[in-house]
Amino acid sequence: MGLLHKDRFICLDCETTGLDTKKDHIIEIAAVRFTFESILETKESLIDPGVTISEESIAIHNITQDMVQGKPKINALLPEFLEFVGNDIIVGHGIGFDISIINETAQRLSIPTTIAKNPFIDTLRLARLYGESSINSLEHLRKHFNIEYHGAHRAMNDVLVNIKVFKHLSHNFKTTSDLLKRLQKPILLRHMPLGKHKGRSFRDIPVEYLRWAIKQDFDQDLMYSLKTELKTRKKGNSFVSSTNPFSNL
């Protein structure tokens, strides 16, 4: 790994029948090998999952049963796709899910893979670090950076947008190593990203909710932000108590 604008990356995206990486199926997959200067190679395919695609899933990605009829099965396509990815650095939005479902699918089919060991860059976390977009979904980032619309939620469309978003979000880094090193550390969020207090500043969220949330299985950035806010309030309360002459009465 060297200078960021000289290194080679793979941006990938999967469309699936659902969000359970152990049980759901990949129905479309797309990947683009690129540098900051050019697109090098592309690979994409619809996939016949061999199961019925739910209406809920169709509403998200607009991939119907008819569209996957007669398309390759994942067991025939995945070895070639994994070879295409190779050992390159993987880029994607919420990319942990894509890597996980590809890895789980490969293991289920006894297809050798080391994709879970590839270094990866999650542009969702980069967007949190950037902090200038009120919402960090790929579509909102596309609008924020005035990126041309390719059509949302189809795998290749999302990949092409994601590459451009990645270039915007990483401009403060000179080397790929520096970027990866920074993403090893948690990122302090400005606003609650989910739940009934979504969009609110952490300082405006009731302490009872923060105490409940800290016990949940959230990602490292959210857990770090919750702990930081609770620690700040505890210090604040300690300061008020220490300066209150009636606190011990």
So which residues are the catalytic ones? 153
- DSSP run (H or E) holding 169: helix 155-169
CA-wise closest residue to 224 among 185, 174, 193: 185
DSSP 3: B
CA-wise closest residue to 29 among 59, 66, 63: 63
Q: CB under 8 Å to 175, separation ≥6 — which residues? A: 1, 2, 3, 4
Task: Please state, in angstroms and rounded to a whole number, the distance separating the CA atoms of residues 162 and 223.
Answer: 26
Calculate the CA 242 to chain-centre distance.
44
CB 222 within 8 Å of CB 189 = yes
Calculate the CA 200 to chain-centre distance.
21
The DSSP-derived string for 49-64 is: -SSPPPHHHHHHH---
Dig out the tokens for 239 from the structure. 């300061």
Query: Would strands 9-16 and 89-92 be described as parallel, antiparallel, or unpaired?
Result: parallel
